[in-house]
Amino acid sequence: METFPKQRLALAKLEESSKLFKNSRIFSFECPEHSAGERRYLVSTLERFWAWYSCLKERHLYELITESTPCRLYFDLEYSKSSNPDIDHEVAYNHFMDTVKCLLKSEFDLEVDPDKDFLVLDSSTDSKFSAHVICHLPNRYLFPSNTHIRPFCNRLLEVLLENPPVKIWNCDGTKLIAGLYFIDFALFKETVLFDNAVYTKNRNFRLYLSSKLGKDTVLKLADYCNFYGRNDFCQKCFDVECRGVYLLVLSAAKVQEGSGPSPYPQLDEFMLMPANCRYCFNIGREHKSNGTFWTVNLERNDFCQKCFDVECRGVSSNLFPLPSFIVNSIHKANDCDGANARENPNDSFSDEDDVASFFDESAVELNEFFTKWDEVFEQ
């Protein structure tokens, strides 16, 4: 099989190969003769790759989850055993799985059984718990891309930090002093069971039966995984047909940065105004490097500020009410949605003239709202 030194070359080859072979994929591998972290890439169909891969004696390979390609919900689970010597692993693991199950139901109305629907590959050692979880959703639903998983996992992170039955710490808080080990709690930071940084475009994800270069521990089917209790092994390995999760993205347009068009243009215009401000309500000043962002709750009709900075993780500002003209525009869009879909499903919610005229009519209320908004910053 032909290999490529650069990812962009492999992506170009994949585009060409996909026209002829439906199951073409990109795989990467670490090169022991090159500098640490350097990879090479190969393009192959799943069937040809497995015939070659299964015969290897040493495996250090990864699948490249390409940008804008539908994929399954997945998780990278890990924690340091030395940082969490007294952790009840079963409680932490079951709490994570139950939370994922509940959130899939509340967010997408999807019923899952983690014990039967989640494939778990384990590569734990004496010093670290490590596992990959691949979720097989009902009706073979997929996310439009792995970057579309991020909003769901951001919400999952918030829920897991709210009231965990056991706390997980992400660094070794022990110090050796005069031959004795002491715990320095200042070094500890609370975290969650999964890594929320693995949902970036063109992500490398280690393969079944592979180990990291220089390591002996391979990813293997976990002893506690019951996913293959049913006789559909081949179906679980490869998917020929798939359907996207339309609950997340209704547009087929290519997504550049993991976001998509909104059905509420008036709300978008309104939120762009506070979004230009980097002032953080949590620390009482602007962040030096990391920015802030705003989340809107369409059920409560309010919004709040959150931060990308790690020091503000899980913290939000007070709730601010949406102006009544914005709330009315949301209700109007929702009311018109069903009627427009029946009459002409290709009609957009509004055009630029609609947005401009709407804000002209609401200028008085908008000015009143931001007068109160300015008073908040002056306090």
Angle at 210 between CA 209 and CA 211, to 5 degrees: 130
Q: What is the pLDDT of residue 275?
A: 54
Q: Specify if 203 maps to a domain.
A: no
Name the domain count of the chain: 3
Local structure of 168: helix, strand or coil: strand
Q: What is the largest CA-CA distance in the chain?
A: 79
Q: Give me the long-range contacts of 250-255 (CB less than 8 A, separation at least 24).
A: 254/68, 255/68, 255/144, 255/145, 255/147, 255/148
Q: Which residues fall within 8 angstroms of residue 293, CB to CB, at 6 or more apart?
A: 275, 305, 306, 307, 308
Say if residue 305 is in the same domain as residue 226: no
Whether the CB-CB separation of 371 and 274 falls below 8 Å is answered with no
Say if residue 166 is in the same domain as residue 82: yes
Whether the CB-CB separation of 168 and 192 falls below 8 Å is answered with yes
Say if residue 38 is in the same domain as residue 80: no
Say if residue 181 is in the same domain as residue 301: no
Dihedral sign (CA 134, 139, 144, 147): negative
Say if residue 110 is in the same domain as residue 185: yes
Residues listed for the chain: 379
Q: Which residues fall within 8 angstroms of residue 99, CB to CB, at 6 or more apart?
A: 156, 159, 160
Say if residue 50 is in the same domain as residue 83: no
What is the per-residue DSSP string for 260-287?
Answer: ---S-HHHHHHHHHHHT--EETTTTEE-
Q: Specify if 251 maps to a domain.
A: no
Q: Specify if 97 maps to a domain.
A: yes
Q: Specify if 302 maps to a domain.
A: yes
Q: Specify if 183 maps to a domain.
A: yes
Strands 141-142 and 243-244: parallel
SS3 content of the chain, % helix, strand, coil (to 5): 35, 20, 40
| 22: its two tokens | 């439906």
Say if residue 42 is in the same domain as residue 169: no
Q: Specify if 62 maps to a domain.
A: no
State residue 183 phi and psi, 5-degree precision: -90, 125
Q: Which domain holds residue 29?
A: 3-55
Report the DSSP beta bridge partners of residue 279.
Answer: 286
Q: Which residues fall within 8 angstroms of residue 160, CB to CB, at 6 or more apart?
A: 95, 96, 99, 192, 193
Q: What is the pLDDT of residue 190?
A: 86
Say if residue 236 is in the same domain as residue 272: no
d(CA 249, CA 261): 9
d(CA 131, CA 129): 7
Q: Specify if 249 maps to a domain.
A: no
d(CA 44, CA 60): 16
pTM of the model: 0.60
Q: How far apart are the first and last CA of the chain?
A: 66
Local structure of 68: helix, strand or coil: coil
The HSE-up count of residue 2 (CA atoms within 13 Å, CB side) is: 8
Say if residue 155 is in the same domain as residue 236: yes
d(CA 347, CA 264): 14
Say if residue 81 is in the same domain as residue 227: yes
Say if residue 23 is in the same domain as residue 136: no
Per-residue pLDDT of the chain (379 residues; tens, 9 = 90+): 789 999 999 999 999 998 888 889 999 998 777 666 689 999 999 989 999 999 999 999 999 999 988 999 999 999 999 888 889 999 999 999 999 999 999 999 999 999 999 999 999 999 999 999 999 999 889 999 999 999 999 999 999 999 899 989 876 444 444 444 445 555 567 889 999 999 999 999 999 999 998 899 999 999 999 998 744 444 444 444 445 444 444 333 443 445 556 788 888 777 776 555 667 877 777 776 667 788 888 888 888 888 877 667 677 788 888 888 888 888 888 877 655 544 444 433 333 333 333 334 444 444 554 455 445 444 4
Say if residue 99 is in the same domain as residue 238: yes
Last residue of a domain, one of 244, 279, 302: 244
- H-helix or E-strand spanning residue 296: strand 292-297
Whether the CB-CB separation of 248 and 144 falls below 8 Å is answered with yes
Q: Specify if 77 maps to a domain.
A: yes
d(CA 92, CA 89): 5
